[in-house]
Amino acid sequence: MTALRSRRRHGYIALGLTAVAALTLAGCAEGGDEGGDSGSVEGETVEIAGGITGSEAENLQKTFEQFEEDTGITVNYTGDKGFEGNIVTKVAGGSAPDIAIVPQPGLFRSLVETGEVKEGTAEVEANVDEYWSSIWKDTGSVDGTFYAAPMLANLKGYVWYSPKSFAEWGVEPATTWDELITLTDTIREKTGEPPWCAGFFSEAASGWPGTDWVEDLVLRQAGPDVYDSWAAGDTPFTDPDIEAAFDSVGEILLNPDYVNAGFGDVKSINSTAFGDPIAAAVANGTCALTHQASFLTANFLTAKTADGATPEVGPDGDVYAFLLPGPEAGELAVEGGGELVTAFSDDAATQQVLEFMSTPEFADARVKLGGAISANTGADPTLASSEFLTEAMKIVQDSNTVFRFDASDLMPATVGSGSFWRGMVDWIDGKPTPQVLSDIQAGYQD
């Protein structure tokens, strides 16, 4: 019994001791970290994340050099190939970067829905009002609240060709859809090979180059109003207008006489990567025509012509591009895209960076480094690295241009980067068009 009592006493003593120790130790609350020099941003670091990688990322980082010197802010850009998926995880986990460069309006909207995105500041908004057309501002806004300024732009809907070969064959770039088909037939007669090449392979995002084809045709054939209502989900994929666009694309892409130059039959479109192999085929002459956005210039930098030289991009050079024509010749409604500079932090340094990124100075600095264009109307298009990009930049800056964002990027992800991409792949694989259309539409229910 005594043993028991002493044991109990031990227990009490121990408890008492620890409690006293605990209370004395636990008394020290930490001071807040609001101190120091608010107002000065010297020495602050701003983290930017995005899906831009490789040399484009280096150029983006270089764009901030002058700004860093002037302000003392360090800007760290990190490119990540899996950015679209990882940013969702990071935001959900409460570990977002200060700024994310989001390439798709749809993804941007779902990030805003998390409630983590900071509203655009008055300075940035003023810049956007001044230097961009309203469609850009609308894209960076959700429910009338402005969040994000655009960064760079790209222009879709180009048909790449070789001016030298065209001169050889005595043909001209087409100005109407019918001319384009005639042009295709002519080249086929001259060469005996399919003139067009296409590549839909883009790893987990395979199929997206196909959506650009369809979007271009909807925009050119059915017009901007139908395009808008389709992008908003009001016009279903099963609508005759959309089906007509698919049929037009099919005239080229599903025709074994027209595709897939240098790669095989129609089905090889799915296994051909969208960038390098296509650029290589256009550069060395095995492929006469391909449909791709303005970024393809980047792939031509490392391609080679048949005689082993780097292809020259220009109206009389080795490669150049004309806009995919509509049913009638004349002014074209064009489709393009751009990144949205999304902020997750509102400290002073981040706000300064955001403001800088919405100025013409930023656009000029980046455009000068090559391979990029901006829709910022204060920027100088002649700074672009090639004649082609200068032309493209003038188009996106022109207030008379009917400009539309990539529809698949505007749709909810389950369609725009889900069933639509998958549908294009299935369609090339031979699934009948009506079936494909209803499958894509079903993505809205997921």
Site for other proteins in 1-20 (CB under 8 A): 10-11, 14-15, 18-19
Task: Give the nearer residue to other proteins in terms of CB position, either 47 or 361.
Answer: 47
Q: C-beta of 10: minimal distance to other proteins in Å?
A: 7
Q: Is 40 in the site for other proteins (CB under 8 A)?
A: no
Q: C-beta of 178: minimal distance to other proteins in Å?
A: 29
Residues 196-215 that bind other proteins (CB under 8 A): 201-207
Q: C-beta of 303: minimal distance to other proteins in Å?
A: 6
Query: What are the helix (H) ranges across 289-347?
Result: 296-300
Strand partners, 319: 313
Q: C-beta of 46: minimal distance to other proteins in Å?
A: 11
Strand partners, 100: 49, 342
CA distances from 380 to 25, 295, 336, 368, 383 (A): 64, 19, 19, 9, 6
Q: Is 32 in the site for other proteins (CB under 8 A)?
A: yes
Sequence-distant (≥ 6) Cβ neighbours of residue 135 within 8 angstroms: 403, 404, 405
From 62, 68, 84, 116, residue interacting with other proteins (rule: CB under 8 A):
84
Q: C-beta of 263: minimal distance to other proteins in Å?
A: 5
Q: C-beta of 207: minimal distance to other proteins in Å?
A: 8
From 86, 182, 435, 438, residue interacting with other proteins (rule: CB under 8 A):
86
Q: C-beta of 81: minimal distance to other proteins in Å?
A: 5
Task: Give the nearer residue to other proteins in terms of CB position, either 298 or 333.
Answer: 298
Do the strands 99-102 and 158-161 form a parallel or antiparallel pair, or are they unpaired? Answer: unpaired
Both structure tokens of 370: 């090559």
Task: Give the nearer residue to other proteins in terms of CB position, either 175 or 286.
Answer: 286
DSSP H or E run through 67: helix 65-71
- Classify residue 156 as exposed, middle or buried by CB count within 10 Å of its CB (0-12, 13-18, 19+): buried
Residue 93 CB coordination number (10 Å): 8
Spatial separation of the C-alpha atoms in residues 11 and 21, rounded to whole Å: 15
Both structure tokens of 111: 């990030």
**CA of residue 368 relative to chain centroid, distance:** 20
Q: Is 57 in the site for other proteins (CB under 8 A)?
A: yes
- The residue range among 43-51, 140-148, 218-226, 235-243 that interacts with other proteins, by the rule CB under 8 A, is 43-51
From 62, 68, 88, 370, residue interacting with other proteins (rule: CB under 8 A):
88
Q: Is 277 in the site for other proteins (CB under 8 A)?
A: yes
Q: Is 446 in the site for other proteins (CB under 8 A)?
A: yes
Q: C-beta of 165: minimal distance to other proteins in Å?
A: 17
Q: C-beta of 222: minimal distance to other proteins in Å?
A: 27
Q: Is 136 in the site for other proteins (CB under 8 A)?
A: no
For other proteins (CB under 8 A), the number of binding residues is 86
Site string for other proteins, 245-274 (x = CB under 8 A): -----------------xxx--xx-xxxxx
Nearest to 101 by CA among 344, 274, 275: 344
Q: C-beta of 177: minimal distance to other proteins in Å?
A: 27
Spatial separation of the C-alpha atoms in residues 88 and 272, rounded to whole Å: 29
- The residue range among 82-90, 142-150, 357-365, 398-406 that interacts with other proteins, by the rule CB under 8 A, is 82-90
Q: Is 369 in the site for other proteins (CB under 8 A)?
A: no
97: three-class secondary structure by DSSP: coil
Q: Is 425 in the site for other proteins (CB under 8 A)?
A: yes
From 62, 68, 110, 224, residue interacting with other proteins (rule: CB under 8 A):
110
Sequence-distant (≥ 6) Cβ neighbours of residue 193 within 8 angstroms: 261, 286
Q: C-beta of 435: minimal distance to other proteins in Å?
A: 11
- The residue range among 55-63, 65-73, 175-183, 217-225 that interacts with other proteins, by the rule CB under 8 A, is 55-63
Nearest to 352 by CA among 57, 140, 67, 34: 67
E runs forming strands in 63-194: 74-79, 99-102, 141-142, 145-146, 149-155, 158-161
From 52, 174, 334, 373, residue interacting with other proteins (rule: CB under 8 A):
52
Nearest to 331 by CA among 178, 220, 173: 220
Residues 280-339 that bind other proteins (CB under 8 A): 280, 284, 286, 295-296, 298-299, 301-304
E runs forming strands in 328-446: 333-343, 402-405
